[in-house]
Amino acid sequence: MSNVSMFRSLWNRQQSAKETSIIGYCFGYSCCNGFPDDSYHLLPAKENIQITRHENDDPNLQVFSFSSIKAATNNFSNDSKLGEGGYGPVYKNHTFAAYLQEVLEFQGKLPNGLEIAVKRLSKSSNQGFEEFKNEVTLTARLQHVNLVRVLGICTEKEEKLLVYEFMPNKSLDFYLYDWRRRVSIIEGITQGLLYLQEYSNYTIIHRDIKASNILLDYEMNPKISDFGMAKFFKKDELEANTGRIVGTYGYVPPEYVRKGIYSTKYDVYSFGVLLLQIISGKRNSSLYGCHENLNLLEYAYELWKQGREAEFFDASLDDSSSSCKLIRCMQLALLCVQENPADRPSMVKVFTILKNENSVAISVPKQPAYSITTYERKESIDIGRKKVFSVNDASITQVEPR
């Protein structure tokens, strides 16, 4: 089933539904390509990786009524409001959860106890509809333990809403953890990206990997969210380009800014930036160094070259037992943010390095990319702002916790 026909099927189901019960909901899974169970094994770089696979070309999603959502959120009242996203306000409610992008957010439980979230598209957003459709068609098919799970859809009248599982522990940029927890989060993000790039039916490029798009469940497992800007390739395609530049300042690789080229190495670059943030506890929107003239990547590289890595790490991770692992993670992150995308490792290689600390050699990174220069910021794209927002109509930049 094509993306267009899949979305049309969901749309038609919604338009023909008079009233849909949200009690007793059951989300159906199926495996494709003849796999008899929910997991299978692959062997990249001699490493046995188990990937949970749930893909379905049949959009088996719950169709929600708008009246149910409206009632549960007290008519999207200001008392429920949490913040605003890239395309409106965000709300909170005691019975329902919603991510609404102009966009609103709510939190709570369905009558059956299921906690959910809903993303609502602005009625006036034309470009946002394309991202909405893109997110429906992608997230309905891609199911993995480290991806936020889409549950249903509502497209009554002019309303366009997506229903997701609710992530109670906010996003990654709200917390600092001990080293063991951070390692678990890093590995979970890696598994999610590995699935998108290698083990789904298509090669999926997220294009907005950042701390606020990594949500955390009750067990603090990371979940990649916000697929409105995601692109997919067939397995024999390597890269593409676009004239419409989207992304978040500080996470966008140079080849995308300069030429509109994107590939799997786009997400590798963003992952590298995120990895530097996780091990340092630092924001990538600030300047560092003695003269405060270095961005996060420059600062990390300079300290690494001088053998002063410890100065970069989060002080709360001052533990001799983890120092070697931290240095290895720092070096891996610097490999991911190199200027030339061909020099960056694949996510398979990233996973292998993380899981085989002592047996896999790691290369010496070259000078990192400085993705946004003053000239490019003025002439190419307008994403260099004091506040770090995604440039798109589809993903949430939080003002308040999810």
Q: Count of CB atoms within 10 A of residue 31's CB?
A: 16
- Are the CB atoms for 138 and 93 separated by under 8 Å? no
Angle, in degrees to the nearest 10, between helices 264-280 and 296-305: 70
d(CA 139, CA 133): 10
d(CA 1, CA 4): 8
Backbone angles phi, psi at 160, to 5 degrees: -135, 110
What are the contacts of 99-103 at 24+ separation with CB within 8 A? 99/162, 99/164, 99/396, 99/402, 100/76, 100/161, 101/128, 101/228, 101/393, 101/394, 101/395, 101/396, 102/128, 103/396
d(CA 368, CA 111): 51
- Alpha-carbon Rg of the chain, whole angstroms? 21
Percent of residues in the chain assigned helix, strand, coil, to nearest 5: 35, 15, 50
How many alpha carbons fall within 13 Å on the CB side of residue 283?
10
| Residue 343 appears among annotated catalytic residues | no
Catalytic residue among 37, 38, 208, 236: 208
Residue 119 pairs with which residues in a beta bridge?
A: 162
Give the SS3 label for residue 309. helix
d(CA 241, CA 248): 17
Catalytic positions: 208
